[in-house]
Amino acid sequence: MNTAVGIDVSKGKSVVAAMRPFGEVAMPPCEFLHTSEDLSALMQSLRLIDGNTRVILEATGRYHEPVVAALREAGIFVSVVNPKLIKDFGNNSLRKVKTDKADAVKIARYGLEYWEEMREYTETDAVRQQLKLFSRQYNLHMKTVVSLQNNLISLLDSAFPGIDGLFTSPVRDDGHQKWVDFVCTFYHRDCVCGVSMAAFTERYLKWCRRKGYQFSTAKAAELYAASREMVVTMPKNALTKALIASAAGQLVAATTMLATIKAEFIRLAATLPEYEVVHAMYGVGDITGAQLMAEIGDVRRFANRGALIAFAGVDPGVNESGKHSSQSVRTTKRGSPHLRKTLFQIVSTHLKQSPPDEPVYQFLDRKRAEGKPYLVYMTAAENKFLRIYHAKVREHLNAVESATLDT
């Protein structure tokens, strides 16, 4: 007999309940801690349940991971579902009951109702979960880098205005930027134009060799000439040096960590079977491709392309009642805002590059020609991109799975 085990996960502890068809209680709701002792006891209790047992729990950030790891290690079928699905599952009651025990029973009932549709949590799902963690950390560190960079530029506007615009070197793989390293040493305009041109050129040459940057006499002359034209309001003293050195040091540390996270983020994404297919899609780069795979996960968990579009929240809403039917309804905006941000970046690339042979741009351009507002045709293009993504990636994953089974 089928037995669905629902686990309502929270921080440090959870509540478990087991149900069989027709409302039979196989295990009344009980609480357990996320400790090795309690998790071992829970595994023993689940093994004693007769019949086919499946465990269902909600995706709750990081809290559910210890439970999932213990269940997989014990060889027990476990499925991680979207909390929105559980929330929308019927209570069949006029009373509004919200307790951990009631939620555990509700999750178990959901498992029985959708028994055949339950997908087992696999090792690949664990990689995708790690990928989502890196995606969140990348976004967080990127915001930090932007904030610290703006702070440093604000300080330099009073001591060395416009110095960031005098360097065009790209960010190195280790996260270092030439203009940031430059102001760590030459923190004030007078550090450049306060000496002779020859003295600064010699000092700049030594700095480039020490930091591993390419030296150019023309660049030294450009920096010297530009510094002579600058108007500053902060004096060249120890306090100014300390402020700018501190701000620049924080930015260097942040960009270095961001570069480390980016490298690991891309490396982890490359281990997934759909990486090459996603990366080959127009407008998708190393980071946006990894973010797509992190936020969408295994695309096969969406029964059709409409389900994926609804998950992203770029599907048009519906507002109908009787004879009333609204012609202009906002998108639902459910699902991950991080996914919508990534989709917007990808579609923006289509808009800027205007590739005539790309179906996403063709669709976008057609909507724009119809006179649709900017956000309308951008959202429509995001919708189109997801439809193509669903078809290509799903087909590729099914082919990989079939090839694996054949071998």
* CA 65 – CA 338 distance, rounded (Å): 21
* CA 55 – CA 121 distance, rounded (Å): 10
Q: Give CATH 3.30.420.10 domain extents, the chain.
A: 2-121
Give me the average pLDDT of each 10-residue run along the chain (407 residues): 90 91 89 91 89 88 85 90 83 69 91 88 79 92 96 95 92 92 95 94 95 93 94 94 95 95 94 94 94 91 87 71 56 79 95 94 94 90 95 92 77
Query: Among 276, 401, 393, 339, which residue's Cα sits nearest to residue 136?
Result: 339
Host H or E run for residue 27 = strand 24-33
The domain defined by 2-121 folds into Nucleotidyltransferase; domain 5 (3.30.420)
Q: What is the pLDDT of residue 324?
A: 47
CATH class of the structural domain 131-265: mainly alpha
Asked whether the beta carbons of 49 and 33 are under 8 A apart, the reply is no
Residue 279, CB-side half-sphere exposure with 13 Å CA sphere: 13
Q: Give CATH 1.10.287 domain extents, the chain.
A: 131-265
DSSP per position, 339-368: HHHHHHHHHHHHHHH--TT-HHHHHHHHHH
- In the three-class reduction of DSSP (H, G, I as helix; E, B as strand; rest coil), residue 218 is classed as helix
Q: Which residue has the tokens 């069949």?
A: 92
pTM value is 0.76
Query: Among 247, 251, 290, which residue's Cα sits nearest to residue 268?
Result: 290
Termini Cα distance of the chain = 33
* CA 37 – CA 299 distance, rounded (Å): 36
